[in-house]
Amino acid sequence: MRKLRTGVVGLGRIGWRFHLPEIAKEEGFELAAVADPSNERLAEAKAEYGVQAYADYEAMLKKERLDLVVIASPTMFHTEQTIMAFQYGADVLLEKPMAATLPEADRMIEAMHNHGRKLMVYQPHRTTAAYQAAKSIIDGGLLGPIYMLKKSISRYTRRNDWQAFTKFGGGMLNNYGAHAIDELISLAGPNVKRIDAHLRKIASLGDADDVVKAVLETESGVVLDIDINMAIAAHLPEWVILGERGTAIIEGVDDQQVFKLKYYLPEELKELAVHDGLAAPGREYRNFDEIPWRQEVVRLADFKPIPFYEKCYEHYALNEPPFIPIEQTREVMRVTAECRKEQ
Ligand SMILES: NC(=O)c1ccc[n+]([C@@H]2O[C@H](COP(=O)([O-])OP(=O)(O)OC[C@H]3O[C@@H](n4cnc5c(N)ncnc54)[C@H](O)[C@@H]3O)[C@@H](O)[C@H]2O)c1
């Protein structure tokens, strides 16, 4: 089996907790080197994984002849580090959000084409049981044609790290919007034609948005309703799927989570005459319509999370199509930029 010589840049929350252990355990990857300006983090990585550790990212690229660079540094460094990896002949797996701005994302895509390299963005929410369950409900058709998808991420938190500051590419539209917009567009189908967005800074200690309300409409007319609210002392349902013949809503916590479906079958619906006059016949104001509701529960525990690094191996080593095509991530970046313009 071909092993991909892999380097990781940025040993923070996601680099340290997710990428390093995943790469170390996957047979098709060789964790060759890491880079981070923090000597403490380099020492930790050396001790735990026995890898080459660099405070200077370019020195890592020059020395290590990597097949793949995983970029998990703060967002403001993504563009330059991605382009530099291409210049040294490596492919890139990049953390979301792809970049702080759309022109930066376009520069990266252009560089990818110019250097003939691969670029994929890590969108972990597409691997989750919740996303797969939502997809199977939509594809299963019980709810009828889907006209609206609602996605919420809600809590009350006084964010005080770099993600709270615009100068570092922070803010919750960039941070969690990169997940929610990607999930909804990939479920509803391309592309977004209308956008209405409201961004606020409420509880955060920085200057970037921590409350995002965005309503998007796709070309096929599906409404995508996104709430990312870090200043709400309540829990909004994470997923609501609205079809012409029923609704699914997520309930419960952790591995007890389920989608509850309420829907009817068209063949069980009784005919209902239309009265289009302005005076109700016989002053009867009820219409006696009884919807023959059916209920069903879809357990998230029945869906296995997709192992992302296996998908990476298929793309980077075996040349299979990307699990997350870069054009889809570019659309997420475009929509994000339009949401910001709405302010
Ligand atoms: N996919 C996800 O679910 C997910 C989750 C968390 C973070 N992220 C993304 O990952 C990236 C990193 O976020 P985090 O929360 O892990 O960060 P973090 O704040 O926990 O850590 C950042 C790390 O990057 C290092 N660093 C600082 N400047 C650097 C530079 N110039 N080059 C290389 N490393 C540098 C810091 O020393 C630190 O170790 C962000 O883009 C973020 O949006 C994605």
In a shared domain, residues 246 and 172? yes
Q: Print the domain residue range for 26.
A: 4-123+307-320
CATH number at residue 68: 3.40.50.720
Cα 96 to ligand 1 centroid, rounded to whole Å: 10
Mean pLDDT in residue range 19-43: 98
Q: Is residue 101 part of a domain?
A: yes
The residue whose CB lies within 8 Å of the most ligand 1 atoms, and thus the one to mutate among 18, 22, 36, 101, is 36
In a shared domain, residues 115 and 22? yes
The residue whose CB lies within 8 Å of the most ligand 1 atoms, and thus the one to mutate among 95, 123, 167, is 95
Provide the strand spans (E) within the chain: 4-9, 29-35, 52-54, 68-71, 91-95, 119-122, 146-154, 192-200, 211-218, 223-229, 239-243, 246-251, 258-263, 294-299
Q: Is residue 273 part of a domain?
A: yes
Cα 127 to ligand 1 centroid, rounded to whole Å: 20
Residue 343 reports pLDDT greater than 80: no
Instruction: Please write the tens of the pLDDT for every residue from 95-143.
Output: 999 998 999 999 999 999 999 999 999 999 999 999 999 999 999 999 9
**pLDDT at residue number 255:** 80
The encoded tokens of residue 271 equal: 């005919």
- Counted domains in the chain: 2
In a shared domain, residues 180 and 262? yes
Rounded distance between C-alpha atoms, residue 173 and residue 180, angstroms: 9
In a shared domain, residues 160 and 275? yes
Closest CA to 64 of 80, 52, 82, 72: 52
Rounded distance between C-alpha atoms, residue 4 and residue 13, angstroms: 23
In a shared domain, residues 70 and 45? yes
Half-sphere exposure of 164 (CA within 13 A, CB side): 13
CATH number at residue 224: 3.30.360.10
Task: Report residues whose beta carbon is within 6 angstroms of any ligand 1 atom.
Answer: 9-15, 35-38, 41, 57, 72-75, 77, 95-97, 122, 124, 162, 175
In a shared domain, residues 135 and 117? no
pTM: 0.93
Q: Where are the alpha helices (DSSP H) in 88-171?
A: 102-115, 129-140
Residue 281 reports pLDDT greater than 90: no
The encoded tokens of residue 207 equal: 């200057």
Ligand 1 atom index nearest CA of 178: 43
Cα 32 to ligand 1 centroid, rounded to whole Å: 19
* 185 — pLDDT class (breaks 50, 70, 90): very high
User: Is the alpha carbon torsion for 286, 289, 290, 295 positive or negative?
Assistant: negative
β-pair type (91-95, 68-71): parallel
**pLDDT at residue number 104:** 97
Output the residue whose Cα is nearest ligand 1's atom 4. 14
Instruction: Please write the tens of the pLDDT for every residue from 293-325.
Output: 999 999 999 999 999 999 999 999 999 999 999
Q: Is residue 342 part of a domain?
A: no
